[in-house]
Amino acid sequence: VTDVCNAYVNSAYYLVFACNSANTAYSTTGSAWTDSTQDSLYVCAWDNKLWGITTAGQLWYTSDLSTFTNDAVLPTGAGSVKGLVVGPDAYGEPIIYAVTNQGLYAHDFANTRFLLTGFTGLTGVYYAKPCEWNGNVCVPIDDIVWLYNPVTKITTPIGPFYPDGFPKADTDLGVTYAWGPYIISIAPVAGRLYALSGPSSAANGAYALNFFDGRGWQGHGYGELTADYFTNLKASYAYGAHRLWIVENQTSAAKSSVGYWPIPTYSGPLATYGAAGYLTTPWFDCFDAAVIKTGLQVHVNISGTSATEYLEVKYALNYTRSSAIDLGRISTDGVTTYRLPGSPTSNGLDFRAI
């Protein structure tokens, strides 16, 4: 299986699987399945039709799951297509986009063609399934999520890994990260964009589930995998609860299993940790790393402290994490103010990024 989608076709809701450009399987119940010989590598739903694309880049559609009509062909050649996604055009109308290893193409249904957008140069090793989030077309390539805004034509890398988010492997600030090497799946959930990172095949490695809220990344969960790997995320209200479902390929047992993470309904300024936790912010450079800025103070607001529940504050400068500077330990509730660069009489700190 190379892709899955929900589609409303011919007055019925279907769950559709694309089977590695070999056939297309679909069901209305999840128990009785129909296998079509229609070639599909990726699938999506648009305009009350099921759409699919082949390895050769041939787009097709059907409105009844019996008659399949060929549409546009990607000009990028066989093997170049990496995903299909429905997102807004420059006027807010939903259209189909095709992710290729040469760029993001917009489908022009009226003229049966694909048009190259301003998002080009998408070379990578691992391409996860794209999605639409907050009016952007989101394309995960290797360890970076790229946002393409169809209105402004601007493409922005947002992380979740360094330099736009978390470090992938870092011990300099007192915590070891070893997440990746790829973003396996992304999912839009309640105003957030979740990203699952880990190995893309059977291997021992760490995984992490992080989410982006438009301002920065936060960690939701992490752990270790042994000879297994995750493949998909899907948000759902099934079974009376808001959950983020996850598919794990258990190679040792020759099967796949499905589990879930609960999605918290509260999003506020406070973070709650277990026995030990770490909050690492992205680099702050005022969107211009070439300009020298001056930092005066750092304010930290914390609650629930005690002699054994405390917060240690550190900072690093100019993209060099190995020279982290310890500001101190906080074990009292309220706002603690540190004068930069770190002494009570400090008058400011020049930096390019902090």
Q: Give per-residue pLDDT as tens, 116-125.
A: 999 998 788 8
Task: Say how far residue 122 (Cα) sits from the centre of its chain.
Answer: 16
The contacts of residue 285 (CB under 8 Å, 6+ apart) are 293, 352, 353, 354
Would the pLDDT of 345 be above 60?
A: yes
Amino acid at 327: L
Would the pLDDT of 269 be above 60?
A: no
Tokens for 200, please give them: 């893309």
Q: What is the pTM of this model?
A: 0.73
Residue 174, pLDDT score: 45
Q: Give per-residue pLDDT as tens, 16-50.
A: 888 876 778 888 877 788 888 889 999 999 999 99
Number of CB atoms found within 10 A of residue 165's CB: 24
Read off the pLDDT band of 264 (50, 70, 90).
low
**Among 7-16, 118-127, 240-249, which is the least confidently predicted range?**
240-249
Task: Say how far residue 162 (Cα) sits from the centre of its chain.
Answer: 14
Amino acid at 110: A
**Among 4-13, 48-57, 90-99, 140-149, which is the least confidently predicted range?**
4-13
Helix, strand or coil for residue 239? helix
Average confidence (pLDDT) over 290-294: 89
